Amino acid sequence: MKNKKKNQNKPRVVTTKTVMTMKHTGEKIAMLTAYDYLVAKYLDQVGIDIILVGDSLGNVVHGYETTLPVTIDDMIYHAKAVKRGVKNALIVVDMPFMSFQTSIDDAVRNAGRIMKEVGVGAVKLEGGEYIADIVRHLVKIGIPVMGHLGLTPQAINKFGTYEVRATTKAEAEELLRDAKILADAGIFALVLEKIPAELAKKVTQSIPIPTIGIGAGSHCDGQVLVVYDMLGLTEEFKPRFVRRYSELATTMRSAFQNFIADVKTQKFPLKKESY
């Protein structure tokens, strides 16, 4: 009895199985990105379900225009830092552009590196039907895969814009078909990015695994945001799907200004801040 009570207070360790179960229990899945130890630690401390080491780190950490330059070594470097801060959340790592599209062998080698060198729970791959064989193979050898459809930033040069995807009937049908194919291939969850809410609802009702939306409305089984966006650090980036829970860019600038002023006016350091 005592032991049972003790376990009830213990934070839940989230696995891909936990995430799949949440679709059926109706508990919404909360996912945010992280790229470093401290942010990952704070997310884990407050009970986030999934931490995504997204290749969005190319934009928000490294300042690239697109996610295309991000390498597998970049992903492993950041994922290792995240991993050191996490005890309970499921960590998912993005496979960057050209680390899996080239062949099943490359996908196995690179996903294998992420699993072996970092020790996370799953990888995420962007793409539809054309990656189904790769997904099937990774899942078969024991590497859980999260899918990603809709706005897939690695395909930016094909589409040319970051506008809402699958707005025509044909595109919506293709996305729904891709979602079913990926679910059949064995993905455990599917990110739906920037698609009409009604389409996301249809996909969510049509596949047995959870959908996690970003700009895909309220009917998905979970929601994800880029952590720097929701913290207000990427202040020029203002799509309607980003809700800002803080204004950290303003807070940071103000702290930096105060430090500069204190140094210039010799208000820092004080005696009590010296040895």
Q: Where are the alpha helices (DSSP H) in the chain?
A: 2-9, 16-25, 37-45, 57-60, 72-84, 104-113, 132-140, 156-159, 169-185, 197-206, 227-230, 248-264
Q: Where are the alpha helices (DSSP H) in 26-126?
A: 37-45, 57-60, 72-84, 104-113
Q: Which amino acid is at 118?
A: V
Does residue number 214 form part of the binding site for ligand KIV (CB under 6 A)?
yes
CA atoms within 13 Å, Cβ hemisphere of 5: 2
Query: Shortest Cβ distance from residue 180 to ligand KIV (Å)?
Result: 20
Q: Rounded to 5 degrees, what angle do the CA atoms 224, 34, 210 make?
A: 30
Residue nearest to ligand KIV (CB): 54
Our CB check for ligand KIV shows the closer of 111 and 263 to be: 111
Query: Shortest Cβ distance from residue 97 to ligand KIV (Å)?
Result: 11
- Cβ pair 244, 230 in contact under 8 A: yes
Q: Rounded to 5 degrees, what angle do the CA atoms 108, 112, 117 make?
A: 160
273 is catalytic: no
Site string for ligand KIV, 120-159 (x = CB under 6 A): ----------------------------x-----------
The stretch among 39-47, 50-58, 100-108, 256-264 that binds ligand KIV (CB under 6 A) is 50-58
Does residue number 99 form part of the binding site for ligand KIV (CB under 6 A)?
no
Does residue number 92 form part of the binding site for ligand KIV (CB under 6 A)?
no
**Adjacent-strand bridge partners of 85:** none
Does residue number 54 form part of the binding site for ligand KIV (CB under 6 A)?
yes
Query: Which residue in 193, 198, 236, 273 is the catalytic one?
Result: 193
Query: Shortest Cβ distance from residue 260 to ligand KIV (Å)?
Result: 33
Q: Which residues bind ligand KIV (CB under 6 A)?
A: 33, 52, 54-56, 94, 148, 191, 193, 214, 224, 226
